[in-house]
A = this chain, B = another copy of it.
């Protein structure tokens, strides 16, 4: 028999044990993140140090300079500063994009070396080893030099700590190297521990757009024993014999005038003892060098690396803990939290610490107060699922994103399409801001300038193409309801499909605002997709201006970026169900539920589905629109999650597209998905986890949290029963309202 005290002790022990397990099991959410996921297979994510939505990321740049690299940025279309396939490091870039399919940014490179200063990246680059990454932190060794590199970040600064061997150690700031295909830089050594400058960026997607400078100030933790700038000199012709630097790097020792050029940079040299760490912090701004300096002064922790890293980790822990999952394998949790992590990279803040940011497309300077200005809107991708998920989990951020989009309209006259650092890159097509604005508004996040947003949408929808920056095929579309095929390999059908979903969202917005005429007009316009349906082929098919279908037509054309008539980066099959706003109409168009189901199943069976492309990512969920066929959705979604999303460098099926693929897998692993933005119903599949708790932001939503419980048979079993708040729920759709009011969704499998 035990006395009460013994019992209490045992209880305490047990309790401690249980909590201990729970602690060691759940640990921190950031510990589940594997920043290397997506760093091969063209995922184009990177393991660099960044805070949630940071302007700065500090990324190991290893995509040029050596044949030991599998991929070289100059040898093909290449859009990421880092790949785990490569091992030759040429520094750490300080402004980068994650999960993007076009090259840009990847500049302001900081590289530690030892011995004589050498500005030639082929010569100063080093094999890297012992890589390790954790949210807000990255480290590797530079084998050539015996240097340990560690990097962390604040929102607008990067902090690097380099542990050097004894001797002459150097830190290079290379403004020649970079991922962007734009070039040109300015640098000025301010003194023996500070350097300032800017680097041109742009030429996003090689389109020759989006050019703009990014400004920086770098400061060192120690005074340099020597410093200077360098520049690759143009080769002289007959005069080369008289100039020792013709066609070579020239080093301007202790030079403090500004230097401009293409291949330029600065070097700071230090006499280091064995194991001595020298740090460099780099502040960035898109407004001015002065703002970059202010950002540095505002965010620096005085070269306290540990404190900077800790704060970065805390920011990530706070962000990731908005969704808590239990159950699943460790790898599944890693896939999930890494996806959530990838969703917190872009859009990122553009405003400086003082609130200033570059105005969209007008060269002026704007200022935000008590909110953030966001940038890097890959809207053709992110409107589909990313922004709905942001609205649910991070409504404060999503509202600032929509406010930023409306600001862009006010500044430039147009809503964004693919915005990059206050420039419109005109990448992809359609009018993808509409679903984002409408979806956000309908989810109850209405604290933005709705009137102006609506005005902006109407302007884009109605302005003739000649003076329309976004809808450049508007005239025929407005007159005839579709975009005609006009030349080989045009994207006519894809463009039109985007406009239909945009116009449907505009209709929903009009409806909410009581603008009935507009509602009817745009709803009707959104149904015109039927124009493209070819009974002969059973798919959407390019149509000419004379109303006739394109003759030479192969619905399989367009796989793997093969050129294709009428479609953008995909086959007719990958677009044929691309009408998320009218699935009922689509089913009817395809001959009813049975034929629709068969055709959809065939798409999966015959590998016509592309997990890596956005237009068809909602396809597996479409089975839920046919009663009795929901098991197919569950099966396909689970198959796709298991097949394409892995705790491995190739764990994302192609470009993450600024978090769009990640949003897909976050939703899919939680067991629900928003098939159509602007439609407030999610559709349900089997969750991967036993329990998912979404912490709701009570500033915006009534519920404290929404919990999804999986019960019943095994993990990949088929749903038998659904309960909401303990009550049988006879539907595979659940509304946004139900979720944000809090409660519990129980999914019982058999």
> Is the beta-carbon distance between A208 and B74 smaller than 8 angstroms?
no
Whether a CB of chain B sits under 8 angstroms from the CB of A236 is yes
Whether a CB of chain B sits under 8 angstroms from the CB of A335 is no
Q: A74-B236, A75-B237 are in contact. Are A200 and B259 (CB under 8 A)?
A: yes
Residues of chain B within 8 A (CB-CB) of A76 are 238-239
Chain B residue at smallest Cβ distance from A362: B256
> Is the beta-carbon distance between B262 and A261 smaller than 8 angstroms?
yes
Category for how many chain A residues contact B = 35 or more
Whether a CB of chain B sits under 8 angstroms from the CB of A264 is yes
> Is the beta-carbon distance between B242 and A183 smaller than 8 angstroms?
no
> Is the beta-carbon distance between B213 and A245 smaller than 8 angstroms?
no
Whether a CB of chain B sits under 8 angstroms from the CB of A167 is no
| Partner among B75, B233, B239, B260 whose Cβ is within 8 Å of the Cβ of A261 | B260
Q: A74-B236, A181-B236, A231-B184 are in contact. Are A208 and B261 (CB under 8 A)?
A: no
| Partner among B77, B206, B244, B255 whose Cβ is within 8 Å of the Cβ of A211 | B255
Return the CB mask of A539-568 against B: 1 if under 8 Å, else 0. Answer: 000000000000000000000000000000
The number of times this chain is found in the oligomer is: 2
> Is the beta-carbon distance between B264 and A184 smaller than 8 angstroms?
yes
Residues of chain B within 8 A (CB-CB) of A245 are 208
The B-contacting residues of A in range 516-549, CB under 8 angstroms, are none
Whether a CB of chain B sits under 8 angstroms from the CB of A573 is no
Residues of chain B within 8 A (CB-CB) of A164 are none
Q: A77-B239, A183-B234, A206-B242 are in contact. Are A260 and B200 (CB under 8 A)?
A: yes
Q: How far is the CB of A569 from chain B (nearest CB, A)?
A: 14
Q: How far is the CB of A529 from chain B (nearest CB, A)?
A: 31
Residues of chain B within 8 A (CB-CB) of A237 are 74-75
Return the CB mask of A437-450 against B: 1 if under 8 Å, else 0. Answer: 00000000000000
Whether a CB of chain B sits under 8 angstroms from the CB of A203 is yes
Task: Give the docked Cα–Cα distance between A600 and B18 (Å).
Answer: 110
Residues of chain B within 8 A (CB-CB) of A476 are none
> Is the beta-carbon distance between A74 and B243 smaller than 8 angstroms?
no
The B-contacting residues of A in range 404-447, CB under 8 angstroms, are none
The B-contacting residues of A in range 221-267, CB under 8 angstroms, are 231, 233-234, 236-239, 242-245, 250, 252, 255-262, 264
Chain B residue at smallest Cβ distance from A75: B238
Whether a CB of chain B sits under 8 angstroms from the CB of A212 is yes
Residues of chain B within 8 A (CB-CB) of A244 are 208
Residues of chain B within 8 A (CB-CB) of A186 are 186, 258, 260
Task: Give the docked Cα–Cα distance between A262 and B236 (Å).
Answer: 13
Whether a CB of chain B sits under 8 angstroms from the CB of A185 is yes
Whether a CB of chain B sits under 8 angstroms from the CB of A363 is yes
> Is the beta-carbon distance between A239 and B208 smaller than 8 angstroms?
no
Residues of chain B within 8 A (CB-CB) of A363 are 256-257
> Is the beta-carbon distance between B211 and A261 smaller than 8 angstroms?
no
| Partner among B205, B213, B242 whose Cβ is within 8 Å of the Cβ of A257 | B213
Task: Give the docked Cα–Cα distance between A211 and B253 (Å).
Answer: 11
Task: Give the docked Cα–Cα distance between A363 and B255 (Å).
Answer: 8
The B-contacting residues of A in range 73-99, CB under 8 angstroms, are 74-78
Chain B residue at smallest Cβ distance from A78: B239
Whether a CB of chain B sits under 8 angstroms from the CB of A500 is no
Task: Give the docked Cα–Cα distance between A205 and B252 (Å).
Answer: 17
Most buried by B among A78, A208, A262: A262
Residues of chain B within 8 A (CB-CB) of A181 are 236, 239, 243
Q: How far is the CB of A425 from chain B (nearest CB, A)?
A: 14
Residues of chain B within 8 A (CB-CB) of A78 are 239
Whether a CB of chain B sits under 8 angstroms from the CB of A341 is no
Whether a CB of chain B sits under 8 angstroms from the CB of A198 is yes
The B-contacting residues of A in range 138-185, CB under 8 angstroms, are 181, 183-185
| Partner among B208, B233, B250, B252 whose Cβ is within 8 Å of the Cβ of A243 | B208
Residues of chain B within 8 A (CB-CB) of A208 are 243-245, 250
Chain B residue at smallest Cβ distance from A261: B184
Task: Give the docked Cα–Cα distance between A259 and B363 (Å).
Answer: 13
Chain A interface helix/strand/loop/mixed:
loop
> Is the beta-carbon distance between A183 and B233 smaller than 8 angstroms?
yes
Chain B residue at smallest Cβ distance from A241: B206
> Is the beta-carbon distance between A252 and B75 smaller than 8 angstroms?
no
> Is the beta-carbon distance between B184 and A259 smaller than 8 angstroms?
yes
Residues of chain B within 8 A (CB-CB) of A259 are 184, 200, 211
The B-contacting residues of A in range 40-83, CB under 8 angstroms, are 74-78
> Is the beta-carbon distance between B198 and A258 smaller than 8 angstroms?
yes
Chain B residue at smallest Cβ distance from A199: B260
Task: Give the docked Cα–Cα distance between A487 and B245 (Å).
Answer: 24
Residues of chain B within 8 A (CB-CB) of A236 are 74, 181
Task: Give the docked Cα–Cα distance between A467 and B245 (Å).
Answer: 25
Q: How far is the CB of A748 from chain B (nearest CB, A)?
A: 52
Residues of chain B within 8 A (CB-CB) of A234 are 183, 262
Q: How far is the CB of A73 from chain B (nearest CB, A)?
A: 8
Q: How far is the CB of A361 from chain B (nearest CB, A)?
A: 10
Return the CB mask of A183-215 against B: 1 if under 8 Å, else 0. Answer: 111100000000000101001011010011100
Task: Give the docked Cα–Cα distance between A363 and B188 (Å).
Answer: 11
> Is the beta-carbon distance between A185 and B257 smaller than 8 angstroms?
no
Chain B residue at smallest Cβ distance from A256: B363
Task: Give the docked Cα–Cα distance between A76 and B242 (Å).
Answer: 10
Task: Give the docked Cα–Cα distance between A184 and B231 (Å).
Answer: 9
Residues of chain B within 8 A (CB-CB) of A238 are 74-76
> Is the beta-carbon distance between A239 and B200 smaller than 8 angstroms?
no
Residues of chain B within 8 A (CB-CB) of A75 are 237-238
Residues of chain B within 8 A (CB-CB) of A239 are 74, 76-78, 181, 206
Chain B residue at smallest Cβ distance from A243: B206
The B-contacting residues of A in range 460-481, CB under 8 angstroms, are none
Most buried by B among A184, A186, A237, A256: A184
Residues of chain B within 8 A (CB-CB) of A261 are 183-184, 200, 260-262
> Is the beta-carbon distance between A260 and B77 smaller than 8 angstroms?
no
Task: Give the docked Cα–Cα distance between A183 and B264 (Å).
Answer: 11
Residues of chain B within 8 A (CB-CB) of A242 are 77, 205-206
Task: Give the docked Cα–Cα distance between A206 and B242 (Å).
Answer: 6
> Is the beta-carbon distance between B211 and A252 smaller than 8 angstroms?
yes
Residues of chain B within 8 A (CB-CB) of A213 are 257-258
Q: How far is the CB of A10 from chain B (nearest CB, A)?
A: 69
Task: Give the docked Cα–Cα distance between A184 and B262 (Å).
Answer: 8
Q: How far is the CB of A239 from chain B (nearest CB, A)?
A: 7
| Partner among B211, B243, B252, B262 whose Cβ is within 8 Å of the Cβ of A262 | B262
Pairs A-B, 3 closest by C-beta atoms = A206-B242, A260-B260, A184-B261
Contacts A/B (CB < 8 Å), 11 sampled = A77-B239, A78-B239, A181-B236, A183-B231, A183-B234, A183-B261, A184-B261, A205-B242, A206-B243, A211-B255, A260-B261
Chain A contacts to B: CB under 8 angstroms: 74-78, 181, 183-186, 198, 200, 203, 205-206, 208, 211-213, 231, 233-234, 236-239, 242-245, 250, 252, 255-262, 264, 363
